[in-house]
């Protein structure tokens, strides 16, 4: 595994050859997209108070966010296949600015849920194309590029939730969301200027194979996108895609449940202050700034299985320890170990990007991401129901058991 210094040197080299600007723009979009979504957990206590939500209802709100994010994956891939990756990312950022505005305007509880769903869908359009665009621009080092971009996203997770928490405490919860509206608009302009409207050579008329039903018959218009989705689903019968999707389903479920309720758990069970809880939540993602690029390099250098064994094994064991420690230092140490789970996404998504056929990559990745995110989005609701019944600690044991299941699946995963 290369050192962090080597990763920084690689980043500088890519900037010098002109590709770094594209990486920077896409990373900025991911910084906001994921950072604002992770502001929801730290603002959840404020939303509970403002809207009189139970833990179960709060969990449902998070599930709605992630269900909508899952639902937008395939449309994002289809849109990118039609109008291009860069254009799709601009649409995503602009729509996100509009939906955050709707959240800030407030209103009845049902409107909060609707606005949250719209925000999840808007940011989902960015989710698929960031991967395929980086795979197009960095075909020889896709793991490293995705790792760097993911680390920037974790920097957003580190910075934006605490800022949102401070603004919510000092002013009102609306300011915790509202300060990002202008940022989304600025990044939309930056992507428009920097990223080509289409990073790949794929277009509706360019590849006969992409428009063929496999028997030489051309598929036009919307039929092409539907065919791409059907073809990807049929690929789930292949061991590599079926297993990597199953691993990501489990990993995503663990991630959503943990990040959704970690700040609330620290406040209600560990009796930490909201400021300390949001700080530890930020630290979780701060560790990811280092973990994700290293996981990406490990994927490029030593392969998928060995990297996932380390990542899932350590983070799963740390989840067992979390309910058993009480001091701030001990919780911080365990948080650092749990944060290693953040490397899972880098490895899995890099693997997934390489095994989906190039001619249906956007639609294909969108289909797979819709599958694993839809299933994983249930976990915050389930975790909230468990916590509402007084089994907050036991919920983390369930997450550890799920990590162990993913670890077992890795044994049968073929290397790319």
The string of pLDDT tens digits covering residues 345-402 is 888 888 887 777 666 666 677 777 788 888 888 888 888 888 888 888 899 999 999 9
Q: What are phi and psi of 212, to 5 degrees?
A: -105, 150
Alpha-helical (H) ranges within 171-221 are 173-178, 181-194
- Cα 67 to Cα 376: distance, rounded to the nearest angstrom: 8
Residue 304 · residue 355 · CB < 8 Å:
no
CATH code that applies to domain 4-198+224-410: 1.20.1250.20
Residue 270 · residue 326 · CB < 8 Å:
yes
Q: Record the tokens describing residue 18, joined without a space.
A: 């002109």
Q: Record the tokens describing residue 144, joined without a space.
A: 């490293």
pLDDT at 1: 42
Domain ranges for the chain: 4-198+224-410
pLDDT at 339: 92
Q: Record the tokens describing residue 378, joined without a space.
A: 């249930």
Tens-of-pLDDT digits for all 416 residues of the chain? 444 555 566 556 655 556 678 888 899 999 999 899 988 988 988 898 888 888 888 888 988 998 898 888 778 878 887 888 888 999 999 999 999 999 998 888 899 999 999 999 999 999 878 887 887 877 767 777 777 887 788 788 888 988 998 898 889 899 999 999 999 999 999 999 888 878 766 443 343 343 344 444 433 344 444 555 566 566 556 777 888 888 989 998 999 899 888 988 998 889 888 888 888 988 898 887 788 878 888 888 888 888 899 999 999 999 999 999 989 999 999 999 999 998 888 888 888 877 776 666 666 777 777 888 888 888 888 888 888 888 888 999 999 999 999 999 988 887 76
């Amino acid at each position: 595994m290369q050192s962090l210094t080597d990763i920084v040197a690689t980043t500088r080299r890519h900037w010098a050859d002109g590709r770094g600007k594209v990486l920077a723009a896409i990373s900025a979009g991911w910084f906001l997209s994921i950072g604002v979504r992770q502001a929801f957990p730290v603002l959840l206590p404020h939303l509970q108070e403002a809207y009189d939500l139970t833990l179960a209802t709060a969990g449902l709100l998070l599930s709605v966010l992630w269900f909508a994010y899952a639902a937008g994956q395939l449309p994002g891939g289809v849109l990118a296949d039609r109008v291009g990756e860069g254009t799709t990312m601009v649409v995503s950022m602009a729509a996100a600015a509009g939906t955050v505005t709707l959240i800030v305007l407030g209103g009845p509880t049902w409107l909060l849920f609707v606005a949250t769903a719209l925000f999840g869908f808007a940011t989902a359009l960015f989710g698929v194309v960031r991967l395929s665009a980086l795979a197009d621009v960095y075909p020889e080092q896709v793991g490293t590029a995705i790792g760097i971009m993911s680390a920037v996203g974790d920097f957003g997770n580190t910075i934006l939730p605490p800022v949102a928490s401070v603004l919510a405490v000092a002013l009102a919860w609306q300011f915790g969301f509202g300060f990002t509206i202008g940022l989304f608009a600025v990044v939309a302009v930056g992507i428009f200027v920097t990223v080509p409207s289409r990073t790949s050579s794929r277009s509706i008329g360019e590849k006969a194979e992409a428009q063929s039903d496999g028997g030489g018959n051309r598929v036009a218009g919307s039929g092409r996108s539907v065919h791409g989705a059907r073809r990807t689903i049929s690929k789930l019968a292949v061991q590599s895609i079926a297993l990597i999707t199953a691993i990501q389903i489990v990993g995503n479920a663990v991630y959503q449940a943990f990040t959704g309720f970690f700040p609330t758990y620290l406040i209600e069970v560990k009796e930490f202050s909201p400021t300390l809880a949001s700080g530890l939540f930020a630290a979780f993602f701060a560790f990811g700034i280092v973990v994700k690029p290293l996981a990406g390099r490990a994927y490029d250098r030593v392969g998928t299985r060995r990297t996932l064994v380390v990542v899932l094994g350590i983070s799963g064991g740390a989840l067992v320890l979390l309910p058993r420690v009480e001091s701030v230092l001990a919780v911080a140490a365990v948080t650092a170990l749990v944060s290693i789970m953040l490397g899972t996404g880098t490895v899995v998504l890099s693997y997934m990007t390489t095994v989906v056929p190039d001619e249906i990559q956007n639609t294909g990745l969108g289909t797979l991401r819709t599958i694993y995110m839809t299933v994983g989005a249930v976990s915050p609701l389930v975790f909230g129901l468990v916590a509402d019944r007084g089994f907050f600690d036991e919920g983390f044991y369930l997450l550890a058991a799920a990590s162990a299941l993913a670890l077992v699946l890795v044994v049968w995963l073929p290397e790319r």
